[in-house]
């Protein structure tokens, strides 16, 4: 009997400008980075063909839930199509950050 393997949840949290503050180990591996190496990187740079569009979505995500499909460009690997969901995360002090979830397509 075959059992379905649970797909790990791919998530990260960034500041309002898209710089990574925390990241799931599986998400860091998808990017070709360690969790430590991912810290403070601008996540939008992994979408070079959609940087302007993603920047607009990041601005919009500050006030509403955003979802789109884009090609993610990991370090030194072929592009990976992903569905991205971005929403505002609750911030205690200062501007709230963003919660990102990714799903491979």
Per-domain boundaries in the chain: 10-104
Q: What angle do CA 24, 53, 90 make, to 5 degrees?
A: 45
Q: Are 86 and 57 in contact (CB under 8 A)?
A: yes
Residue-wise pLDDT for 48-100, tens only, equals: 888 888 888 888 877 788 899 999 999 888 999 999 999 887 655 556 789 99
| Statement: the pTM of the whole predicted model exceeds 0.85 | no
CATH number of 10-104: 3.30.450.20
The C-alpha atoms of residue 86 and residue 65 are separated, in whole angstroms, by: 6
Predicted pLDDT of residue 33 = 95
Give the model's confidence band at 2: pLDDT under 50 very low, under 70 low, under 90 confident, else very high: low
Pull the structure tokens for residue 13. Answer: 């949290």
Pull the structure tokens for residue 65. Answer: 């839930």
């Amino acid at each position: 009997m075959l059992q379905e393997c649970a797909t790990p949840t791919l998530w990260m949290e960034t500041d309002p400008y898209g710089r990574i503050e925390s990241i799931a180990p599986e998400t860091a591996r998808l990017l070709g980075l360690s969790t430590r190496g991912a810290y403070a990187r601008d996540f939008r740079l992994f979408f070079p063909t959609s940087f302007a569009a993603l920047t607009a979505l990041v601005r919009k995500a500050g006030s509403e839930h955003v979802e789109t499909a884009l090609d993610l460009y990991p370090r030194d690997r072929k592009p990976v199509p992903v569905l991205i969901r971005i929403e505002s995360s609750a911030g205690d002090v200062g501007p709230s950050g963003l919660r990102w979830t990714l799903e491979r397509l």
